[in-house]
């Protein structure tokens, strides 16, 4: 096996620091902590890099292969996900339930819903535009000569503990629901990490799922409909029902918990923290700090439903419209800025509902941002939001009215989170969540 580059200020670190999935500021605190061979000859492997930057400590997975391929400048390595040899090696590990061993690290394939040997890779295409992981669309030939469409997701930032994207989607598909892509297999690894008890972390490195061709994401479907002034009530209602179905399956398949004082206080602490960040960063919210705190306290003061596993980062971009199948939910990793342990805790299903309500509001805000008819767009979003809630209630067989104040507080919390994101990354978009905060405060008063 070729030696892994170890210079923290070398070309590999420079390349990593420029990738969208790298959340640090620079690459000068990166070091290679392990090299895991994925193929028999060691040419395809996963380098594990630690970022020791203050406030940005993380471990990243960097798949590479020896040879020209899609070269990483200044090295003799190529970017693994773009190379068929890497994709083939990764699929064999997962779908054959095989194992790999390296210097201080391991990887074990875990078959979940796949039967038979790993298929032969015909084509492999990396999806563009992703920020936190790398997904590869694979067209493969099965042992009996048939075709299989696969989606391989390589997790870039590694965490100790099970990844919710694997745990939740496999539980939903195992229950017989078609509201998520089927999960076929995963790769579970161990690596050195002195921040973990015992010095060894264990978590998911990759997952392979069903690929659904000919789809459009709900964001594009909804935005096109709003631009054209098309009625969206039927589709929004169906989306509400699909969301409720997934929540019901998760509550049955995985543990639930009472919202005791400890759980409530932990949730409230997060909400107050996000509120404080937003008030500090957004000038127009500085005078509303007391009102925001009061609205959160009032909205969360009543009874809470059972806590359960939820999507955690739910919006229109996390849903596909699949021909002859309807709405299909994706990407159950949770809110990227929350710690993995926190994302794996039971939470309020209403948090997902609030996230989707905010997403419809963003459709209206996008049209206004583009110079379209803002009033018509707000009317469209209001109708879609109402239809989504009606579909959700119809599927669960109960009204959300008893939890209206809690839902409003969760929507306020999400809007405050969006304010922080926009002021840091897209200041021109700040008015969308900013207006929502003021609207929700007026509704609470």
Which of the listed residues 181, 211, 241 is the one where a domain comes to its end? 211
Whether 269 and 384 share a structural domain = yes
Whether 225 and 201 share a structural domain = no
In-domain check, residue 5: no
The average pLDDT across 205-212 equals 97
Whether 148 and 227 share a structural domain = no
Is 3 a residue whose pLDDT tops 60?
Answer: no
Is 114 a residue whose pLDDT tops 90?
Answer: yes
- C-alpha span between 244 and 80 (Å, rounded): 38
Whether 335 and 361 share a structural domain = yes
- C-alpha span between 274 and 423 (Å, rounded): 13
The average pLDDT across 297-305 equals 94
The average pLDDT across 278-285 equals 95
- What is the percent of the chain with per-residue pLDDT over 70, rounded to a whole number? 97
pLDDT at 215: 95
Residues 11-28: tens digit of each pLDDT = 999 999 999 999 888 888
In-domain check, residue 4: no
In-domain check, residue 265: yes
- Domain range holding 288? 217-444
Neighbours of 14 (CB within 10 A): 17
The average pLDDT across 148-171 equals 96
Whether 99 and 156 share a structural domain = yes
In-domain check, residue 149: yes
pLDDT at 5: 43
Whether 152 and 267 share a structural domain = no
- What is the percent of the chain with per-residue pLDDT over 90, rounded to a whole number? 88
pLDDT at 55: 79
In-domain check, residue 1: no
In-domain check, residue 2: no
Whether 165 and 271 share a structural domain = no
Lowest mean pLDDT among 43-47, 297-301, 339-343, 410-414: 339-343
Q: What is the pLDDT of the chain when averaged over all its residues?
A: 93
208 falls in which pLDDT band (50, 70, 90)? very high
In-domain check, residue 6: no
Whether 240 and 158 share a structural domain = no
336 falls in which pLDDT band (50, 70, 90)? low
- C-alpha span between 233 and 363 (Å, rounded): 14
- What CATH number has the domain bearing residue 289? 3.90.1200.10
Q: Please write down the HEC assignment for all residues of the chain.
A: CCCCCCCCCCHHHHHHHCCCCCCCCCCCCEEEEEEEECCCCCCEEEEEEEECCCCCCEEEEEEEEECCCCECCCCCEEEHHHCHHHHHHHHHHHHCCCEEECCCCEEEEEECCCCCCCCEEEEEEECCCCCCEEEEEEEEECCCCCEEEEEEEEECEECCECCHHHHHHHHHHHCCCCCCCCEEEEEEEEEECCCCHHHEEEEEEEEEEECCCCCEEHHHHHHHHHHHCCCCHHHHHHHHHHHHHHHHHHHHHCCCECCCHHHHHHHHHHHHHHHHHHHHHCHHHHHHHHHHHHHHHHHCCCCCCCEECCCCCCCHHHEEEECCCEEEECCCCCCCCCCHHHHCCCECHHHHHHHHHHHHHHHHHHHHHCCCCHHHHHHHHHHHHHHHHHHHHHHHCCCCHHHHHHHHHHHHHHHHHHHHHHHHHCHHHCHHHHHHHHHHHHHHC
pLDDT at 9: 53
CA angle 275, 277, 280 (to 5 degrees): 105
Is 2 a residue whose pLDDT tops 60?
Answer: no
Total domains in the fold of the chain? 2
Whether 242 and 196 share a structural domain = no
337 falls in which pLDDT band (50, 70, 90)? low
Which of the listed residues 211, 227, 246 is the one where a domain comes to its end? 211
Do 315 and 356 touch, CB atoms closer than 8 A? Answer: yes
Is 7 a residue whose pLDDT tops 70?
Answer: no
pLDDT at 1: 38
Q: Please write down the HEC assignment for all residues of 253-303.
A: HCCCECCCHHHHHHHHHHHHHHHHHHHHHCHHHHHHHHHHHHHHHHHCCCC
pLDDT at 186: 98
Whether 152 and 268 share a structural domain = no
Lowest mean pLDDT among 33-37, 152-156, 233-237, 335-339: 335-339
The average pLDDT across 179-203 equals 96
The average pLDDT across 200-212 equals 97
The average pLDDT across 189-211 equals 95
- C-alpha span between 129 and 340 (Å, rounded): 23
The average pLDDT across 384-395 equals 98
Whether 117 and 160 share a structural domain = yes
In-domain check, residue 66: yes
6 falls in which pLDDT band (50, 70, 90)? very low
- C-alpha span between 28 and 17 (Å, rounded): 9
Is 412 a residue whose pLDDT tops 60?
Answer: yes
Which of the listed residues 189, 211, 233 is the one where a domain comes to its end? 211
Whether 239 and 253 share a structural domain = yes
pLDDT at 4: 44
């Amino acid at each position: 096996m070729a030696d892994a580059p170890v210079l923290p200020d070398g070309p590999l670190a420079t390349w990593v620091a420029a990738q969208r999935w790298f959340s640090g500021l620079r690459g000068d605190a990166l070091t290679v902590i392990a090299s895991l061979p994925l193929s028999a000859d060691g040419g395809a492997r996963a380098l594990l890099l630690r970022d020791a930057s203050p406030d940005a400590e993380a471990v990243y997975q960097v798949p590479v292969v020896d040879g020209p391929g899609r070269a990483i400048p200044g090295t003799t390595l190529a970017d693994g996900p773009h190379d068929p040899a890497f994709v083939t090696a990764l699929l064999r590990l997962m779908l054959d339930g095989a194992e790999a061993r390296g210097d201080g690290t391991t990887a074990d394939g875990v078959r979940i819903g796949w039967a038979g040997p790993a298929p032969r890779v015909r084509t492999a295409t990396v999806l563009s535009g992703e920020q936190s992981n790398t997904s590869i669309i694979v067209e493969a030939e099965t042992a009996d000569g048939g075709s299989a469409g696969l989606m391989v997701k390589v997790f870039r930032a590694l965490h100790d503990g099970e990844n919710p994207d694997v745990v939740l989607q496999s539980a939903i598909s195992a229950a017989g629901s078609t509201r998520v892509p089927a999960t076929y297999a995963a790769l579970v690894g161990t690596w050195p990490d002195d921040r973990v008890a015992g010095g060894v972390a264990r978590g998911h490195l990759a997952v392979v799922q069903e690929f659904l061709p000919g789809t459009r994401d709900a964001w594009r479907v909804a935005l096109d409909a709003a631009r054209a002034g098309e009625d969206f009530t039927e589709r929004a209602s169906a989306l509400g029902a699909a969301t409720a179905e997934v929540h019901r399956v998760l509550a049955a398949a995985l543990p639930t918990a009472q919202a005791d004082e400890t759980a409530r206080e932990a949730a409230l602490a997060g909400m107050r923290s996000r509120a404080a960040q937003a008030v500090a960063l957004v000038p127009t919210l500085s005078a509303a700090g007391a009102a925001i705190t009061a609205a959160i306290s009032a909205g969360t003061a009543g009874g809470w439903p059972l806590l359960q596993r939820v999507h955690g980062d739910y919006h229109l971009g996390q849903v596909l419209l699949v021909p002859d199948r309807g709405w299909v939910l994706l990407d159950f990793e949770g809110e990227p800025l929350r710690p993995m342990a926190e994302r794996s805790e039971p939470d309020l299903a209403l948090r997902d509902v609030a996230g989707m309500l905010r997403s419809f509001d963003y459709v209206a805000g996008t049209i206004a941002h583009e110079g379209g008819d803002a009033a018509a767009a707000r009317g469209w979003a209001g109708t879609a939001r109402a239809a989504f809630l009606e579909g959700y209630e119809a599927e669960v067989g109960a009204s959300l009215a008893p939890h209206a104040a809690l839902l409003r507080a969760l929507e306020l919390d999400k809007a405050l989170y969006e304010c922080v994101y926009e002021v840091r990354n897209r200041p021109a978009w700040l008015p969308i969540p900013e207006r929502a905060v003021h609207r929700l405060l007026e509704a609470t008063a």
